[in-house]
C-alpha cells in the first residue's frame, strides 16, 4: 500500500507552533538538545498518525541540518561511504559534491564562465536543496509574465522536475522534489558582455547558502527569445521587488517582518516593519540584533515580539515613530 502523502494543515501547524515556542533556550542550549526536545513533543503527541509524526520530524531534521552546517559546535558523524566527517544527520555533503562533480560532463550552459561558476558553487554545496544548477529552458512550462522593473523582468513558471530535494544515501544519488512553482528573473541584456549581470548571478549564488531565511536560488536558464539569462528562484517573496536596489534589506533576517517569517505572502505594506528597524540602525549606528546568531532562534524571538532596545538618548518623537512601525 502506498504511503499517504502528508501536507500542512491546521492541526499540524498548531502543534508546530507549540514545538517551537515551548522551548526554553536556557535549558536546551545545544542544537542537538533543542532538536531532541522538539522531536519528543512530536513523538508524544497522541493525536498524530504515524505518517504525520514522520512528516513533522523530517521537517524538523531539515531545519536543524541546515543550522548544523558551518556550526563549529555541532556534533559530526563519519560517513559510511566516503569516511569523511560531516555535520548534517541525513546526508553527507562530501558525497553530494562527488555526485555533482561526476555529472559535470552531462550539462553545459554554452558559456565557459557560467559553467565554471556553477561547478564552483556545486563543489561548495552544503545540502541537497541548496544545489545550484544549469536548467534547460524546456524544463519550464506555463511561463507567465508577472512584472518588470529596473534591469529585470519577472515571470512565474512550473518547473517540471523541480529542484534537488533529498539525498538518497543508499543509491548515492540526489532526488528531485517534483513539479513546483518557481519565479524566473530574466536579467535584461545579459546576452552582452557586461559584467553587471554576471556579478548579480555570482552574488545570488553566494547568498544562497548563507541563510535558511533567504529565498532560494536554484540555478540559471536561458530565455530562448532574447538569449538573456534567467535566475530560477523559490516562490517565497522574501527577496523583494526586482526594482529595489541591490543593497536593499530583503532577505536580511533582522529586517524581515514577523508576518513574513511566519509565512505570510510578502506585500509592500510589510516594509513598514523593515523601515522601523532601519530607523533604529540610523539613530544608533549599530547593527540590529548584533548580539544574536542570525538563526532559527532569532527568527522565533522576532515572532514573539523581540525588538532592538530603545535607548534613552533617542528623541521621543523618533522613538514613537519607530515603535509604530
Residues 229 and 271 in one domain: no
**pLDDT digit string (tens) for 115-124?**
998 998 899 8
Cα separation, 307 vs 155, in Å, equals 35
User: Which of 68, 84, 113 is at the close of a domain?
Assistant: 68
Query: Cα Rg for the chain, rounded, in angstroms?
Result: 21
The strand pair at 85-86 and 180-187 is best described as unpaired
Terminal-residue alpha carbon distance, the chain = 53
Task: Note whether 146 and 229 are same-domain residues.
Answer: yes
Please list, in sequence order, all residues whose beta carbon lies within 8 angstroms of the beta carbon of residue 278, skipping any fewer than 6 positions away: 249, 255
Report if residue 62 sits inside a domain: yes
What would the grid cell of residue 280 be?
533604529
Q: Which of 207, 188, 220, 222 is nearest to 253 (CA)?
A: 207
Q: Residue 245 — very low, low, confident or very high, per pLDDT cuts 50/70/90?
A: very low
Number of domains in the chain: 3
18 and 118: one domain? no
What is residue 194's predicted lDDT score, i.e. its pLDDT? Answer: 59
| Phi–psi pair at 288, nearest 5 degrees | -60, 135
CB count in 10 Å sphere of residue 91: 19
Shared domain check, 308 and 201 = no
Residue 150 lies in a domain: yes
Same domain for 294 and 226, yes or no, is: no
Q: Is-contact 60 70, C-beta < 8 A?
A: no
In a domain, 1, yes or no: no
Task: Tell me the mean pLDDT in the region 288-305.
Answer: 74
Domain end marker among 174, 202, 233: 233
Judge whether 168 and 205 are in contact, CB under 8 Å: no
Grid cell digits, residue 180: 513546483
Residues 220 and 103 in one domain: yes
**Domain check: are 60 and 125 in the same one?**
no
Domain annotation covers residue 80: no
Cβ distance 74 to 93 under 8 Å?
no
185: nearest Cα among 130, 133, 240, 132:
240
- The C-alpha atoms of residue 282 and residue 205 are separated, in whole angstroms, by 29
Question: What is the phi/psi pair of residue 224, to 5°?
Answer: -65, -30
Residue-number span of the structural domain to which 202 is assigned: 92-233
Total-model pTM: 0.62
Q: Using N-to-C axis directions, what is the helix angle for 296-304 and 10-21, rounded to 10°? A: 100
Tell me the pLDDT tens digit for each residue of 143-155: 999 887 667 888 9
Residue 75 lies inside a defined structural domain of this protein: no
Same domain, 279 and 157: no
- CATH number, domain containing residue 171: 3.30.200.20
- Check whether residue 40 and residue 131 sit in a common domain: no
Give the tens place of pLDDT for each residue, 46-80.
888 888 888 888 888 877 777 777 666 667 889 99
pLDDT at 249: 36
In a domain, 239, yes or no: no
Question: Which of the 8 DSSP states describes residue 161?
Answer: S
23 with 107, same domain? Answer: no
DSSP annotation of 106 reads: G
Q: Residue 276 maps to which CATH number? A: 1.10.510.10
**Rounded to an integer, what distance in angstroms lies between the CA atom of residue 161 and that of residue 169?**
20
In this structure, the answer to whether residues 272 and 221 fall within a common structural domain is: no
Asked if residue 4 belongs to a domain, the reply is: no
With respect to residue 135, please indicate whether it lies within any of the assigned structural domains: yes
Q: What are phi and psi of 218, to 5 degrees?
A: -95, -25
Q: Which of 107, 108, 84 is nearest to 97 (CA)?
A: 84
Higher pLDDT, 2 or 309: 309
Q: Is residue 257 within 8 Å of 325, Cβ to Cβ?
A: no
Q: Is the pLDDT of residue 284 over 60?
A: yes
Q: Identify whether residues 134 and 210 lie together within a single domain.
A: yes
Amino acid at each position: 500500500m502506498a504511503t499517504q502523502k502528508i501536507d500542512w494543515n491546521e492541526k499540524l501547524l498548531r502543534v508546530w507552533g507549540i514545538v517551537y515556542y515551548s522551548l526554553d533556550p536556557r535549558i536546551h542550549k545545544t542544537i542537538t538538545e533543542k532538536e531532541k526536545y522538539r522531536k519528543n513533543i512530536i513523538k508524544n503527541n497522541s493525536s498524530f498518525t504515524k505518517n504525520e509524526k514522520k512528516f513533522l520530524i523530517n521537517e524538523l531534521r531539515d531545519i536543524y541540518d541546515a543550522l548544523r552546517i558551518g556550526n563549529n559546535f555541532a556534533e559530526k558523524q563519519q560517513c559510511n561511504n566516503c569516511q569523511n566527517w560531516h555535520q548534517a544527520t541525513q546526508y553527507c555533503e562530501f558525497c553530494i559534491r562527488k555526485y555533482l562533480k561526476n555529472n559535470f560532463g552531462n550539462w553545459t550552459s554554452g558559456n565557459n564562465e557560467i559553467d565554471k561558476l556553477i561547478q564552483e558553487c556545486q563543489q561548495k554545496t552544503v545540502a541537497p536543496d541548496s544545489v545550484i544548477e544549469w536548467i534547460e529552458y524546456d524544463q519550464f512550462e506555463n511561463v507567465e509574465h508577472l512584472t518588470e522593473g529596473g534591469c529585470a523582468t519577472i515571470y512565474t513558471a512550473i518547473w517540471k522536475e523541480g529542484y534537488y530535494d533529498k539525498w538518497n544515501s543508499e543509491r548515492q544519488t540526489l532526488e528531485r522534489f517534483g513539479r513546483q512553482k518557481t519565479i524566473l528573473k530574466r536579467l535584461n541584456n545579459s546576452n552582452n558582455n557586461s559584467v553587471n549581470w554576471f556579478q548579480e548571478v555570482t552574488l545570488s549564488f553566494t547568498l544562497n547558502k548563507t541563510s535558511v531565511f533567504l529565498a532560494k536560488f536554484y540555478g540559471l536558464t536561458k530565455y530562448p527569445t532574447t538569449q538573456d539569462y534567467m535566475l530560477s528562484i523559490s516562490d517565497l517573496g522574501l527577496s523583494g521587488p526586482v526594482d529595489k536596489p541591490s543593497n536593499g534589506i530583503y532577505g536580511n533576517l533582522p529586517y524581515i517582518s514577523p508576518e513574513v517569517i511566519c509565512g505570510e505572502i510578502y506585500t509592500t505594506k510589510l516594509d513598514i516593519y523593515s523601515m522601523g528597524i532601519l530607523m533604529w540602525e540610523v539613530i544608533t549606528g549599530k547593527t540590529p540584533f548584533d548580539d544574536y546568531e542570525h538563526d532559527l532562534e532569532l527568527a522565533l524571538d522576532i515572532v514573539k515580539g523581540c525588538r532592538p532596545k530603545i535607548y534613552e538618548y533617542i528623541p521621543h518623537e523618533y522613538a514613537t515613530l519607530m515603535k509604530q512601525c
